[in-house]
Amino acid sequence: MKNTLKSLIFISLFFTIACNKSEPSYDNVVKMVDKVSIEQSAITADEVHQMLSENPELVIIDIREPGEYSPGAIPGSINIPRGLLEFKIADAKFWKSKAKVSPNKEDEIVIICRKGHRSILAAKTLYLMGYKHVKYVKGGFKSWEINYPNEQIKSEESGNELWSEAGC
CATH number assigned to the domain comprising residue 96: 3.40.250.10
Q: Is the pTM of this model over 0.85?
A: no
Question: Is residue 19 annotated as a catalytic residue, yes or no?
Answer: no
The residue range of the domain holding 123 is 28-164
pLDDT digits (tens, 9 = 90+) for 44-54: 999 999 999 99
- Domain-located, residue 154: yes
Instruction: State the total domains in the chain.
Output: 1
- Of 61, 74, 78, 113, the active-site residue reads 113
38-42, 57-61, 125-129 — which is least confidently predicted?
Answer: 38-42
Neighbours of 100 (CB within 10 A): 14
Confidence at residue 167, expressed as pLDDT on a 0 to 100 scale: 43
Tell me the C-alpha distance between 29 and 59, whole Å. Answer: 27
Q: Is residue 20 part of a domain?
A: no
Quote the pLDDT of residue 8: 47
61 within some domain:
yes
